[in-house]
Structure formats: C-alpha cells, structure tokens
C-alpha cells in the first residue's frame, strides 16, 4: 500500500473532516521519517515506503483511534456560532438601514425594503414617483444654486428644477415649480428635518413675492440623507429666476432657481 492510500483510508474514518488535512500531513511526515531511516540502512525507496506504511498498522483501526481524539463538536460549535454571528450581523444591518433611510426602527426589513430605501436616494426616482403625476407636462427645466446649514443639517441642491404644467381640477392648467434638496447630517439617530410650521417664502426676478401658502417643503423621512421636495405653486410664467428661503429658529437657507432662458445669478 502506498503512503497516500494509507493516509486517505485513515482520514476517511474521521467525522471531523476539518482536521483531515492536518492529520494527513502528520501521518505522511511520520511515514517519510521512517522511510528515510530505512533507506539510510540500504533499503530501496519502494520497499522502504511499503515497510513504513505496514508498520503504521491497519488504516481503519488507526483512523478510528484518531477519530476518538478529534471530536467534531468544537467545529460544530464554531459553525453554529459563525452562523449566529452572520444572522445577527444581517439583522443589525437591516436595522441600521431602516434607521438611516427610513422613519421606523423595526428589524423587519426585507431586501425589497432595502432596495426601495436605496432608490429613494436617487433624485430621478423621487421626481418620477413622488412629483410627476398623470397629466403633468414639463414646461422647462432650470439650474438650482445655493443652500447652507441649519445645524446640524446641511442642505444643498440635488438635480435640476422642473417647471410643471398641471391640471387644476377646473378644466384649466396651473404651473408648479419643483426641485429637490439633499439634507445631510452626521447624527443618524436624529429625525429628518421637519419644516412644518417654519416660514417658507420666495421672490422672483419680476418682483413677485410668494408666501408660505404657495411655498412648500416636504421631507421624505430619510435619516442620514433625505431628499426633500420644495414646491412653488402658481409661479409667474414670465419669471425666469426665483429665490426661495426657508427660515427656522436655528438658521435659514436660500436657493435660487434659474430657468432656461433666464440669467444665471
């Protein structure tokens, strides 16, 4: 019997196959040492290998004896702990994602929920699913500049502004100016910025002024990064530039929208 055949038959008796490579190497080294000693006495290599293997005894009996020494239970406990750790990590990850990108704290977050949360970080997705309605047409687009801090929140433009023509429910059409603002902060345990009750106002390049009854700031509820929507209802169709301001007791931010055909501020 060759050395590798002996080693395979021995390790085949082990219930704990994780230990098989180390046992196989230990047996092979022992046989090699015996072979070296026999060849030093003048025996040929093949004869030395056969004699060294035979001296090891019956491979099944050797395997059973080694199996008693290498219990599979430590490895079974290891794999159970590893699986538990992976499960715990997955649940923690879902909880963190739910906290950062949503308003809830439930750990019942599926991959579909995660996908939805990530989609809601895409400005185009927000526009298509939360702003544009059936019957809306885009009259023109515009660039948005400005932003600033309302501690601990930092606000900055996200994408282009849209000037929409919408059904007014009376058989006519009404204009609406809308754009997105990214609201970031480094404290994910905080709720998203809530502008309800805070004065919002706007003024255009023709001198028209718009109050809180025409300017709306809507949060989507994200924790770490929220894509908020700012609406201006019934803007003057002749105006090409609008300056919108959100005031709070912690500070104010201003955004300027320049529609196509208008001057860049």
The secondary structure of 214-245 as a DSSP string is: TEEEE----SSEEEEEEEEES--TT--EEEEE
Average pLDDT over residues 229-248: 93
Lowest mean pLDDT among 115-129, 154-168, 228-242: 115-129
User: What confidence category does residue 264 fall into, taking pLDDT thresholds of 50, 70 and 90?
Assistant: very low
Distance CA 247, CA 255 (A): 12
Dihedral sign for Cα atoms in the order 49, 51, 54, 56: negative
CATH number, span 123-259: 2.60.40
In percent, how much of the chain has pLDDT > 90? 25
The predicted structure's pLDDT at residue 131: 73
Distance CA 216, CA 230 (A): 6
Containing 33, the helix (H) or strand (E) segment is: helix 20-40
In percent, how much of the chain has pLDDT > 70? 82
Q: How do residues 3-42 score in pLDDT, each as one tens digit?
A: 888 888 888 888 888 788 888 898 899 889 998 999 999 9
**For 127, which DSSP code?**
I
Domain residue limits, the chain: 3-71, 74-117, 123-259
Q: How do residues 49-108 score in pLDDT, each as one tens digit?
A: 889 989 989 988 988 888 888 877 787 787 788 888 888 887 777 666 555 555 444 444
Please choose, from the candidates 165, 179, 160, the residue with its C-alpha nearest in 3D space to the C-alpha of residue 230: 179
Q: Is the distance from CB of 14 to CB of 20 less than 8 angstroms?
A: yes
């Amino acid at each position: 019997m060759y050395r590798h055949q002996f080693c395979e038959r021995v390790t085949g008796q082990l219930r704990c196959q994780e230990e098989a490579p180390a046992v196989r190497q230990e047996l092979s080294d022992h046989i090699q040492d015996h072979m070296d000693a026999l060849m030093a006495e003048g025996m040929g290599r093949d004869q030395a290998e056969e004699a060294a293997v035979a001296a090891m005894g019956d491979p099944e009996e050797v395997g059973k004896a080694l199996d008693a020494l290498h219990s599979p239970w430590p490895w079974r406990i290891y794999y159970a702990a590893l699986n538990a750790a992976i499960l715990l990590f997955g649940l923690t990850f879902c909880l963190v994602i739910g906290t950062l990108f949503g308003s809830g704290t439930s750990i019942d977050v599926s991959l579909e929920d995660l996908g939805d949360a990530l989609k809601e970080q895409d400005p185009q997705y927000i526009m298509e699913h939360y702003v544009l309605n059936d019957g809306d047409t885009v009259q023109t687009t515009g660039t948005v500049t400005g932003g600033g801090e309302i501690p601990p929140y930092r606000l900055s433009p996200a994408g282009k502004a849209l000037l929409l023509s919408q059904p007014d429910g009376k058989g006519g059409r009404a204009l609406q100016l809308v754009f997105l603002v990214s609201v970031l902060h480094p404290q994910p345990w905080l709720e998203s910025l809530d502008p309800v009750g805070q004065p919002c106002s706007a003024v255009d390049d023709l001198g028209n002024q718009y109050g809180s009854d025409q300017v709306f700031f809507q949060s989507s509820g994200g924790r770490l990064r929220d894509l908020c929507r700012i609406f201006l209802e019934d803007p003057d169709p002749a105006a090409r530039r609008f300056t919108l301001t959100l005031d709070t007791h912690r500070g104010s931010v201003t955004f300027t929208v320049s529609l196509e055909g208008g001057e860049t501020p």
